[in-house]
Chain A
Amino acid sequence: MTEVFRGMWVISYRELLRFVQERTRMLGSFAMPLLFLVIFGAGFNRMIGQLTPGVDFIKFMFPGLIAMTVLMNSVMSGLSVVWDREFGFLKEVLVAPLNRYGIVLGKAVGSAAVAVTQGIVMLVLAPILGISIDFMLVVKLIPLLILISLSLSGLGILVASRMRSQQGFQMLVQIIIMPLIFLSGVFFPINNVPVWLEVLSKINPLTYGVDAIRQLFLNSNGATAGPGIGDGSYPLGVTVLGHNVTILEDVAIVAILGAVLMTAAMLAFNKQE
């Protein structure tokens, strides 16, 4: 048991050490969400107008972009595994008296810490965009982001446990992550789209992570995920079989996903030679 804990803290310690020393990565991971925020925000905001009273497109998209930041940084846990394998450092880790499950947990915890920090830093943009954040919002947001981030770190490590090159991993990330992001309701409410898109989005577990974050924001901004645009015919949140999914249900779905991914990641990582 001590070897599980030592593995966890030693590995996460190094992940953080690396993060602090790589300033480009720190800046780089903000670039994409910022780009979306500025371009999409400026492009669509006036055209779309209010989605529900008090919620314009930027307010709608912003929580989604926090989710996106967390997601992209979490999956990078896998890149770090591939990087270590390519540059040999993984051997140093694997021959050390550390439990392999602990190593996986350490990678996940380390990259989750990084991802959550990045997500929280995004909050400084909120006042500029006219989004109010209060203390309770942040208190609720942090554990939620940690949960989402740990789940997706599991995905990153699972993918990475068989990959040998960084290019390969980047490619796979493009194939897996981009659809996950675009189908998660970050950019549009998924209740007023063609059926195929709606189905795909509702199968995507990330949708529920985005939904949970968005509901927190909407609630604290005096809006609800309930009745939406114009005549209030559909909600901004996710509905499954006519039922408005609550934050707790969102959390449960993400937690189950996380448990599955993390278990699979541990098994895959342990099996490698």
Chain B
Amino acid sequence: MIFVTVGTQLAFPRLVEAMDSLAPDLDEEIVVQCGPVKGVWNNIVAVQSMAPDEFSENFAAARVIVAHAGIGTILSAKNAHKPLIIVPRQFKFGEHRNDHQMATARYAQKLAGVHVAWETDELMGLLLNPDLEPAHVDPGPSHAALVNRLRDFIDQ
């Protein structure tokens, strides 16, 4: 199963439409959480939002996750050890308030198991790859340093 999520805040029709057009050529169930938008798609079933446990169930059941370049999604993929394909939202298409998802994607592509489709026409190649590397949790020294700084401040 392919789980597609665009987060809860904003619609992302470019990604949902791309998945709709790819669906006939993918022999795989596609579950889409499409955000606040009312659309009619021919080949996929989409729900606007999911309760947290329903979201987690779909996340766990998926072979691969396709998503916007949201930090929450990236962290979820790391926790769930899933291969993640991200399409960054772009300001020029009105998909977010600025281009911070482009910056996130540039950084996240260095993370194991995070694969960036800079344009939607790169999705098919990634989705047809049966051996996409999964993301994984690797709490590094930078994470520990941040926690220690906060703990020192809180305890003082």
Q: Are A and B a genuine interacting pair, yes or no?
A: no
Residues of B with Cβ closer than 8 Å to A?
A: none
